[in-house]
Each structure stands twice: as C-alpha cells, then as structure tokens.
A and B are shown apart, each in its own frame.
Chain A
Amino acid sequence: GAVVSQHPSWVICKSGTSVKIECRSLDFQATTMFWYRQFPKQSLMLMATSNEGSKATYEQGVEKDKFLINHASLTLSTLTVTSAHPEDSSFYICSASRGSSYNSPLHFGNGTRLTVT
C-alpha cells in the first residue's frame, strides 16, 4: 500500500490565491522530503528539498517566496503555492524515503493536480 500520502489529489483555484499541498509519510519518519513538479508531456523536475526543522533547499530557478515549504514534523511537509497564477498549473509530487542511505528507495505520493484559473 501507499507509504506516502498527498492531499489534495486535485485543486482548482483562482489566480492570486494561495494553495497548500500536504505530504505525509504514513508509517515512517522522514527527515527529508522532496518536492517535484511535472508539466504536461514532460518529466519530473525537482523543485526543492524539505528538511525537518530547518529551511528548505530550492533548486535553481524556483522562487522560495512563491513556493513556501514547511517541514514541521517528521511525517509532514507542506508546499504552499502563494499568489498562484495560471503558469503555476502543474502536477506537484512529493517523495520521501524510509532510510537515509542511497540504498533506500524514494517513495512518491500520488501527486496533486493544480489548476489555476
């Protein structure tokens, strides 16, 4: 069964509003979670690395003030898209690993489809 849960699975919002997406590790603690974005017909692109208890690390070109990440507990990371615009419409996916070694697979949530009108 799923080990990483995302909510909501889809959301429609108006331009200028903010949207929060939750990512939970269901039966393990995750000190690190990763947020990806996927545009239609493209591959997943890493947006940021979420670290429990500290600031997130953003990839080049990703605005940290627009995509707010909060990793307040070992099982929950949230991504808030602030002042959303139509170009932010995308598929957002989080992932986490049970272990910290490179031998521990990353497990992905089922994604959140964001549509900004």
Chain B
Amino acid sequence: DAKTTQPPSMDCAEGRAANLPCNHSTISGNEYVYWYRQIHSQGPQYIIHGLKNNETNEMASLIITEDRKSSTLILPHATLRDTAVYYCIVRVTGSQGNLIFGKGTKLSVKP
C-alpha cells in the first residue's frame, strides 16, 4: 500500500502557484519522497525528490516539514500544460527500488 495521502483533486488558476500537499506520517528516516506527474495517456514524468532538505529544480520546489511527516510540491507559475495527476510517493527501502503509486491528486489548471 502507498504510504502517502493526497487530496483527490485541486484547481489552480493559470499563472498562480500550485501547492500540492502530501501526508506521509509513517515515513522512515532513510526513505525518500518522490513526486511524479502523469498527463493523460502518457507514462509518469519525474518531477523532484528529497530526503530531508527542501529541493528546487527547473520544474518545481519540494518543501519537506522538519518532522518529515508531510511535504508540499510547489509549481511556481502553473500553466495549462501542468494539468495532470500528481503522485507523491515514499520510496520504501528494503524493496528493489520500485515505486508504489497511490491515487494522486488531479490538478486542473484553469485559464
């Protein structure tokens, strides 16, 4: 089972920041938080990941709380092309490295 909880859907206005929350209260100390997104009928696209520190790349920022029990993915200036299902995944150690997908958050960016 997925170790994360996400809201099923969110709306965001085009040009505004999209803040997608994720709860992972049972995360272990050495487990990474990964974010992917899936646009309809395509394979998941890697966005960002982190362990303890906040991370930023050209796509997004990842804010992880100090207790690591939750995180937020931030898309700074959402566009219509950011409409997708966003998955927050805790990569479980002890496995062969596979990812267990939950239901994700359907983000709709509206004009």
Contact = CB atoms under 8 A, between A and B. Distances in A.
20 contacts: A36-B101, A44-B44, A45-B101, A49-B98, A57-B96, A91-B41, A93-B43, A93-B44, A102-B91, A102-B93, A103-B51, A104-B97, A105-B34, A106-B46, A106-B99, A108-B43, A108-B44, A110-B42, A110-B43, A111-B42
A93 B101 CA distance: 13
A97 B97 CA distance: 9
B18 to A, nearest CB: 20
B96 A43 contact: no
Contacts of A85: none
Main DSSP-derived SS at the B contact region: loop
A68 B102 CA distance: 26
Interface of A: 4, 6, 32, 34, 36, 43-46, 49, 57, 91, 93, 95, 97, 100, 102-111, 113
A72 to B, nearest CB: 19
Given A108-B43, A108-B44, A111-B43, A32 B96 contact: yes
B65 interface: no
Contacts, number: 59
A103 B30 CA distance: 10
A104 B99 CA distance: 12
A116 to B, nearest CB: 18
| B: contact size bracket | 20 to 34
Interface of B: 30-32, 34, 36, 41-46, 49, 51, 87, 91, 93, 96-104
A39 B46 CA distance: 21
A43 B91 contact: no
Contacts of B101: 36, 43-45
A107 B100 CA distance: 14
A49 B43 contact: no
Nearest to B38: A44
Contacts of A111: 41-43
Given A46-B98, A46-B100, A107 B41 contact: no
